[in-house]
């Protein structure tokens, strides 16, 4: 699942994606579809396949994971990774093979005689639904995070559209540096805060840095929503629509246990790294003023 989560956030760098359904070619690229059907014919292949709303039919080969949030899934070929069917029923036909787990949400999948599922067939554990307080609390947190990211993203688009554009260019052209600096910020800032707290002089700095971590992480997560959305919704379509598309994908994936946490981590790292690389590039490329005579 870790590789899939990474692909979901960086798919705009590696493979074509579409807001409508499509048939896979034989290039083995990853596929992200917001709405519409996906058909992988016999003899064709794809990498990771992610569909938010649409039916999926696999007669060829999926070399990674297959994730379908809402849509009927029929597998007559091979899926090397895991299969996630959240809202609708998945059917594994005779002769088909799933190399990983077959995970379902609402409806138990149908595995025909002669089909092979090498992993486990298990249901998504969305929390203890029998505990109303726990379920309501989780729903409240999800709504609060979604609304906060929406407001923060709209503010960024209004106040700093140039910064988001620079972050897009940084992630597109310097992906390695973006990931590296994002990881350094994500793990380095808490470590620096803890080190400051053990010294008497550095306690105020450590406390302030710890309090700033949550807004910084939220900024990175929201920036990644823009990056993902801009890959799916290309210019000249408006920036707001691109951000809403990316945020919708991230918040839907946040509903999936474990995978949602991995996606949040990757999104935060990429967003922080892109902002830092964009800031550094802007400072280094700023024209110097000539010295006065």
Residue 191: how many other CB atoms lie within 10 Å: 9
Task: Report how far residue 37's alpha carbon sits from residue 156's, in angstroms, rounded to the nearest whole number.
Answer: 33
* Whether 83 and 223 share a structural domain: no
Q: At what angle do helices 161-173 and 2-14 cross, to 10 degrees?
A: 100
Specify the DSSP class assigned to residue 289.
Answer: P
Are both 63 and 110 inside the same structural domain? yes
Q: Which residues, at least 6 apart from 79, have a Cβ–Cβ distance to it below 8 Å?
A: 58, 61, 62, 65, 66, 97, 98, 99, 100
Would you call 279 helix, strand, or coil by DSSP?
helix
Residue 124 and residue 1: Cα distance in Å, rounded? Answer: 14
Q: Write down which residue in 123, 143, 160 finishes a domain.
A: 123
Q: Is residue 292 part of a domain?
A: no
Of 94, 90, 93, residue with least CA distance to 106: 90
Q: Given 84, 104, 123, which residue is the final one in a domain?
A: 123
Domain co-membership, 167 together with 243: yes
Tokens of 239: 């920036």
What is the domain count for the chain?
Answer: 2
Q: Which residues contact 171 (CB under 8 A, 6 or more apart)?
A: 12, 13, 178, 227, 270, 273, 274, 277
In tens digits, the chain (293 residues) has pLDDT values of: 444 444 444 444 433 444 445 554 555 677 877 778 899 999 999 988 888 778 999 999 999 889 888 889 999 999 999 998 887 889 999 999 999 999 888 788 999 999 999 999 988 654 433 444 455 566 777 888 888 889 988 998 888 888 888 888 888 888 888 889 989 989 988 888 888 877 766 778 778 888 888 889 999 999 999 888 888 877 766 788 888 988 998 988 888 777 888 889 999 999 999 988 888 887 776 555 555 54
Strands 56-58 and 73-75: parallel
Looking at the fold, whether 90 and 202 belong to one and the same domain comes out as no
Is residue 89 one of the residues assigned to a domain?
yes
Query: Is the domain of 153 the same as that of 248?
Result: yes
Q: Locate 26 and state its tokens.
A: 């034989």
Number of residues assigned to the chain: 293
Residues 154 and 273 both lie in one domain: yes
pTM passes above 0.75: no
The pLDDT, as a whole number, for residue 177 is 87
By the 10 Å C-beta count (0-12 exposed, 13-18 middle, 19+ buried), 39 is classed as middle
Whether residues 170 and 260 share a domain: the answer is: yes
**Residue 30 placed within a domain:** yes
For residue 73, the model assigns a pLDDT of 94
State whether 278 and 146 are in the same domain: yes
Among residues 123, 153, 169, the one where a domain terminates is 123
257 and 114 in a common domain: no
Domain that residue 46 falls in:
2-123
Same domain, 86 and 164: no
∠ Cα 242 178 207 (to 5°): 95
Are 261 and 192 within one domain? Answer: yes
Asked if the structure places residue 289 within a domain, the reply is no
37: tokens are 């059907």
Domain identity same for 153 and 257: yes
């Amino acid at each position: 699942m870790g590789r899939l989560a990474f692909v979901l956030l960086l798919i705009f760098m590696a493979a074509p994606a579409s807001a409508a359904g499509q048939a896979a070619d034989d290039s083995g690229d990853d596929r992200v579809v917001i709405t519409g059907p996906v058909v992988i014919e016999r003899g064709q292949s794809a990498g990771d396949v992610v569909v938010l709303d649409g039916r999926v039919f696999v007669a060829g080969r999926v070399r990674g994971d297959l994730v379908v949030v809402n849509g009927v899934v029929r597998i007559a070929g091979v899926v090397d990774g895991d299969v996630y069917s959240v809202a609708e029923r998945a059917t594994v036909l005779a002769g088909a093979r799933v190399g990983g787990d077959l995970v379902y949400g609402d409806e138990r999948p149908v595995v025909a005689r002669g089909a092979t599922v090498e992993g486990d067939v298990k249901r998504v554990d969305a929390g203890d639904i029998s505990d109303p307080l726990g379920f309501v609390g989780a729903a409240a947190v999800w709504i609060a995070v979604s609304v906060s990211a929406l407001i923060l993203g709209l503010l960024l688009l209004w106040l700093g559209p140039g910064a988001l554009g620079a972050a897009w260019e940084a992630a597109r052209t310097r992906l390695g540096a973006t990931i590296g600096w994002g990881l350094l910020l994500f793990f380095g800032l808490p470590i620096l805060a803890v080190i400051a707290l053990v010294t008497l002089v550095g306690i105020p700095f450590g406390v302030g840095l710890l309090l700033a971590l949550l807004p910084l992480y939220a900024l990175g997560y929201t920036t990644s929503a823009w990056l993902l959305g801009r890959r799916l919704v290309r210019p000249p379509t408006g920036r707001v629509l691109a951000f809403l598309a990316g945020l919708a994908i991230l918040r839907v994936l946040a509903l999936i246990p474990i995978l949602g946490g991995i996606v949040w981590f990757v999104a935060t790292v990429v967003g922080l790294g892109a902002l830092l690389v964009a800031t550094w590039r802007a400072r280094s490329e700023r024209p110097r003023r000539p010295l006065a005579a």
